[in-house]
């Protein structure tokens, strides 16, 4: 072999030896990585720091997505929730009231005596009022073993709310009766939602003070449109004007927007979205109908926050199928079939129900689910 070839061979061997044994790897090559990891890293696998850097600098076409998270699982109920027979996927009565008057002359009227008796019944049967906004948002906080109920009043009439010269609710108005029953039945919360039209309880110049009083004393305001028009007969701009003008009036008087809307006559517009939201003017957590049955739980997969049914307050009279579908009939049915109504577990952060009901829980809420 020529001398030059021998010299070249020696140089190559020395280079290989030096490359394996000299410390460091200024070029960021694989030899240094092998030395640091003891040679055990699988082929093609970089160090953790190398992977993070690569992910941070990778181009748009790089595929660095993390493995998908496992689906949320439903956990076990607490012994206390099971003992309370909690079922937070049960039905919730949303009761619809109109005028409260001594001498009813309209089909939806109720007398103060009838109204008081219905509230006392609710209190004795373990119902606790919550607002329509709390209900629509799924923010239900009532004691274990109790049942939420939503009291709603349409049309903002003087029979709902008026103040005497001393600044107290006038006797036999809805507000006065609610507060009276709450005093007599500890745990029965003095709250309700009032759906407002432009007359605003006929407060005659005292609208702002009256609405502030309601809010400061635990009551909620809702939107019922400016002039109570049937929204199903109006085009988009008409729907949004009726709702938007009422919302603007409420904001002007109170500084706050309402959380929910109740359709006049229970009639929806051609497109629900017209009523649900108008950027910068209104946006509702829930929209209420005038229906004939209790509402599904807001945690039920079938719950539609833009079409929440209500139950008319009435005894078991023949008119309008009230023998089956008004408040007295439904409360009788829920009392006779307690497993079908919403019963609280006492913890607003969890949703407890019997295991047989698990398929009804909305998928996005499974992490809060608890079964027994």
94, 129 Cβ separation under 8 angstroms: no
Could you report the per-residue pLDDT of 29-76, keeping only the tens digit for each? 333 333 333 333 333 333 333 333 333 333 444 445 666 666 688 999
Three-class DSSP category at 282: strand
pTM above 0.85, yes or no: no
Categorize the per-residue pLDDT at 323 as very low, low, confident or very high, splitting at 50, 70 and 90. Answer: very high
User: For the segment 3-22, what is each residue's pLDDT rounded down to a tens digit?
Assistant: 434 444 444 334 433 343 33
Sequence-separated (6 or more) residues with CB below 8 Å from residue 214 = 161, 175, 194, 220, 221
Radius of gyration (C-alpha) of the chain in whole angstroms: 32
- What is the distance between the alpha carbons of residues 240 and 276, in angstroms, rounded to a whole number? 9
Identify the pLDDT of residue 72. 83
What value does the mean pLDDT of the chain take? Answer: 87
């Amino acid at each position: 072999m020529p001398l030059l070839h021998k010299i070249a061979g020696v140089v190559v061997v020395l280079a290989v030896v030096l490359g394996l044994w000299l410390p460091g790897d200024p070029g960021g090559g694989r030899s240094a990585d092998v030395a640091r990891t003891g040679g055990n890293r699988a082929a093609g696998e970089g160090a953790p720091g190398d992977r993070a850097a690569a992910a941070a600098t990778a181009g748009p076409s790089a595929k660095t997505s993390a493995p998908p998270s496992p689906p949320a699982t439903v956990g076990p109920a607490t012994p206390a929730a099971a003992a309370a027979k909690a079922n937070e996927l049960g039905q919730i009565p949303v009761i619809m009231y109109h005028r409260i008057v001594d001498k009813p002359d309209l089909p939806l009227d109720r007398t103060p005596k009838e109204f008081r008796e219905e509230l006392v019944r609710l209190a004795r049967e373990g119902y606790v009022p919550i607002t329509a906004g709390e209900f629509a948002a799924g923010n239900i906080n009532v004691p274990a073993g109790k049942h939420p109920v939503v009291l709603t009043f349409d049309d903002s009439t003087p029979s709902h709310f008026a103040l005497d010269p001393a600044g107290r609710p006038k006797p036999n108005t809805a507000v006065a009766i609610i507060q009276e029953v709450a005093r007599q039945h500890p745990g029965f919360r003095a709250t309700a939602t009032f759906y407002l039209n432009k007359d605003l309880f006929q407060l005659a110049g005292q609208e702002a003070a009256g609405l502030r009083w309601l809010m400061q004393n635990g009551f909620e305001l809702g939107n019922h449109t400016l002039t109570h028009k049937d929204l199903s007969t109006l085009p988009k701009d008409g729907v949004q004007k009726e709702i938007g003008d009422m919302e603007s009036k409420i904001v002007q008087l109170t500084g706050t927007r309402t959380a929910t809307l109740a359709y006049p006559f229970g009639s929806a517009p051609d497109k629900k979205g017209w009523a649900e939201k108008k950027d910068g003017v209104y946006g509702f957590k829930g929209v209420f109908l005038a229906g004939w049955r209790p509402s599904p739980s807001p945690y039920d997969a079938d719950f539609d926050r833009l079409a929440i049914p209500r139950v008319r307050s009435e005894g078991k009279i023949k008119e309008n199928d009230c023998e089956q579908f008004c408040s007295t009939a439904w409360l009788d049915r829920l009392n006779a079939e307690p497993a079908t109504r919403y019963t609280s577990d006492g913890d607003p952060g969890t949703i407890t129900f019997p295991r047989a009901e698990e398929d009804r829980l909305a998928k996005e809420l499974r992490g809060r689910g608890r079964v027994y």
